[in-house]
Chains A and B, each alone.
Chain A
Amino acid sequence: MKTHPKKEIRIICELPLAGRMRAHLDRAPISGYTLLPVIGGKGSEGAWSREGLVGDAGQMVIFLIILDEAELQAVLADLYAVITNQIGIITIADVEVVRPDRF
């Protein structure tokens, strides 16, 4: 089975920001995205945990976006602008996919 190289952007960002992030992703040249839950963590502002919380503040989610290398820079710059003032982390990794035309 032949596989084809793509890029994967993973953004760990604050939950209150998710709506804005979605709005940007809706306009981006990508085929979609996937949202993953986070249960806790620790960063420069201390440890946090989703347990027991009622509001959105103090919680995080992960956006996973698989896309073509050709679009990476544009999408990255756009999304980076969203979280630049906020708590959040962006990583990029190499992945292989089976159906390259789907992304």
Chain B
Amino acid sequence: MSIDKRAGSAAEALADVPDGATVLISGFGGAGFPNVLIRALRDRAPKALTLVVNSATHRYSLTHELIEAGLVRKVVCTAARGRDNEPSPFERLWVEGRIKLECVPQGTFAERIRAGGAGIPAFYTPVGVGTELAGGKERRTFEGRDYILEPAIKGDLALVRADAADRYGNLAFRYAQMNFGPVMAMAARVAVAEVRAVLSEPMPHDRVQLPGTFVDRVVAVGA
């Protein structure tokens, strides 16, 4: 039976997401948010999710809908500050103690996810040394410089946005859509991509930016 990772709809692609799942969601700087998948996840409504997402409050991302719907137990992110004076949905729940937060420097965030997908359980980084985000972390000196130990992040599910896919799950991104997509897909047990279009032919090898071997399901959602 030949490989075919095309799902009929976002809902179908997410039909098996369980309560308690750790969900990695791509997108940064206004590009690459898998908003169709995020909304389908909200509709499916699994409970007690842990979200691993660059921003808990980005205005172009629908991540806040998962938070507002009360589906999220914890957010691991680099940004949790809303733009407005009025608290964002995340900030409201966080101040009330109803949602947990792990704030991570962005490079450490990307590298911990990459490590999760690449079989590295932990690595040392100079980032955060001497700051409160190093609190409780092992500190170690290599060649006269201080570093802290950071653990890998893995997910049950990754939601990724790309431009094009083929039946094998190969992905091509437009411009800054890429951001966390490749590492998140690699680090998750099940990676689902929404794309503008699914090609009818296999993607040419030199256009593939993320091999389909890291992608489990693709959904065409249009522009």
Question: Are A and B co-members of a single complex?
Answer: no
